[in-house]
Amino acid sequence: MKRAFLSTIVLVVGIVPSLTNAQTPQKPDRQVAVTIDDLPAGMADRLPASQITAMTTKLLGTLRDQKIPVVGFVNEKKLFKSGEADERIKALQMWLDYGFDLGNHTFSHASLNQIGLKDWEDDVLQGESVLKILLASHKMKLRYFRHPYLDTGRDLLTRRNAEAFLVERGYRIAPITLDGWDWAFAGIYEDAKQRNDTAMEQQIVKDYLAYHDAVFAYDEQLSKTVVGYEPKQILLLHASNLEADHIGELLDLIRKRGYRFITLEDALGDSAYSLPDTYVGEEGTGWLEHWAITQGKIPQGAPKFPQWVLDRSKELRLSTGQVAAPTPY
């Protein structure tokens, strides 16, 4: 009798979730392109080539298994470390071997807001040499460019001149609309990993996922205010052990928000990327903010980045500027 009663309960409980599902409004059809910057690795100056290869293998394995189209953006300066150039170039080559695309992120990760236009253009050109050879061997062409630090120029003339230079070189500028500052989590994660501090690793991953979730929610709202709808979004990530170890959890989170993954080319076909954009500023930022500021709207209510991550980065004397590229040779 007791057993029969229990099975009735189980049956009822089993029905409830399906009713709930039927009543839930359909998930929106959201789309996002994934881009990964600072190749071969954000912390290339601190990691030996063997670790860069291991990190790349793990990261690309997950992305390939899950069929995520990705464009990786390269700083070639990080390839030229004495005795390691061949292995570092091989790690880069893996991106193409696995079926991903590569773009230029300047040779030395130079900011257009910090150096003159001519020097910056030289840094763009210097960043093409290895890339062009690798892409040609895969019958591919160098198509995409991403501004280091998202710095697009401190005045509109510089910005427009740089853009004209890039277009003339055959580049399509790759904007971003979603940025969860993964590089800041990645720096302290690397330290925790090397010390085998699993408690801290877990805390970092928890906050990295929660912050990304909050950033997505915020930018979906901002999209509606600024664009009028949620455009095909472009996510900015960085090549790191944090991503190699945990990007699968991030991809799950993104899917749960109703997204499917598309190519950068597909995303750039969204007319949002032709919206008026006269943004200039000391600080590089995402394109939703560009469009908002161009429209005279001040974005408000952005999620607060966990202060303890910034404090810990300072403690470890980690750069807050994404990369410190090594001196070649």
Query: Which residues contribute to the site for Zn ion (CB under 5 A)?
Result: 37-38, 148, 322
Helix axes 241-256, 182-194, angle to 10 degrees: 130
- Which residue number has the CB closest to Zn ion? 37
DSSP one-letter string for 167-231 = HHTT-EE---SEE--HHHHHHHHHHHHHTT-HHHHHHHHHHHHHHHHHHHHHHHHHHHHHTSS--
d(CA 310, CA 315): 9
Helical packing angle, 49-65 and 85-97, nearest 10°: 0
Compute the distance between CA of residue 54 and CA of residue 60 in angstroms, rounded to an integer: 10
Cβ closer to Zn ion: 148 or 306? 148
Nearer to Zn ion, 151 or 270 (CB): 151
Residue 5 is given by DSSP the state H
Task: Please identify, using beta-carbon distances, which residue of 223 and 322 lies nearer to Zn ion.
Answer: 322
Closer residue to Zn ion (CB): 56 or 322: 322
Least distance from Zn ion to the Cβ atom of residue 90, Å: 22
In the complex, least distance from residue 161 CB atom to Zn ion, rounded to whole angstroms = 21
Minimal distance, residue 260 CB to Zn ion, in Å:
26
User: Which residue number, 38 or 182, has a Cβ lying nearer to Zn ion?
Assistant: 38
CB of 117 to Zn ion, least distance (A): 19
Cβ–Cβ < 8 Å for 241, 189:
yes
Residue 37 beta carbon to Zn ion: minimum distance, rounded to whole angstroms? 4
